[in-house]
Amino acid sequence: MDAQTQPKNFYGAVKIFADGADLATMRKLAGDPLIQGFTTNPTLMRQAGVADYETFALDVLACVSGRPISFEVFADELEEMEHQALTIAAWGANVYVKIPVTNTRGASTVPVLRSLARQGVQVNVTALLTLAQVEAAAEALAPAKAACISVFAGRIADTGRDPVPVMAAAVESLRCYPRLELIWASPRELLNVMQAASVGCHIITVTQDLLKKLPLVGKDLDQYSLETVKMFHEDGQKAALSLPLPARKVA
């Protein structure tokens, strides 16, 4: 099927959330109906040169048209995490507050998750890599009106493990929590979108680099092969590559 005529649900029911912190890009993506939500984090904000957190967040909220947007706490003490979460949650009704699954000393944030859930804060617990972490977070967030659990499938894959069985098991573990959604976080390739859909994951966060590849889905492979050959040839010409001609054999 041609990418231009492909239906918007070619990747299944999984929702596409744009992951990033470049305000200009986020404004542009806000006009794309394919994007159903947004996520960011302190690392992405630092890379984008964000200096004023609240100003940045309010600018983002002004352009995302009420779609879910996750902003992360940056405190390391559990009590301060909760205070920051309440401040961030007050920025808008569509705000989800990202809470890391532990602090930097490995202390579980389950008490924070449980407290925020009871206060009606929409939480996105982040940086999970194991099924045990998913189960503990889900239990803590059970009272929430809405919450997300972000499993970093890409980082699981970085260790040489297949993330698909982990994500499939996580989906099953959340079936008894209808208000919780599972996020396939840190994808490494476009195939991850299809994998997330195939296991029933609710959401996948996708960076701008991967979003640019979405039109490739379903592309004719023979045509893609030819385009690749042409690219190599054209780049060789642009680089002015040359080799000495072989010496002629004397008859």
Give the Cα separation of 47 and 56 in Å (integer). Answer: 13
Output the pLDDT for position 2. Answer: 36
98 is a catalytic site residue: yes
pLDDT the model gives residue 251: 65
Residue ranges per structural domain of the chain = 15-216
Segments in the chain below pLDDT 50: 1-8
- What's the whole-number average pLDDT of the chain? 93
Give CA–CA dist 122/107, Å, rounded: 21
Q: Exactly one of 98, 212, 213, 219 is catalytic; name it.
A: 98
Residue range 15-216, CATH number: 3.20.20.70
Measure the CA–CA gap between 216 and 156, rounded to whole angstroms. Answer: 25
Q: CB pairs under 8 A, 24+ apart, for 167-171?
A: 167/195, 167/196, 167/199, 167/201, 168/199, 168/200, 169/131, 170/131, 170/134, 171/199, 171/200, 171/201
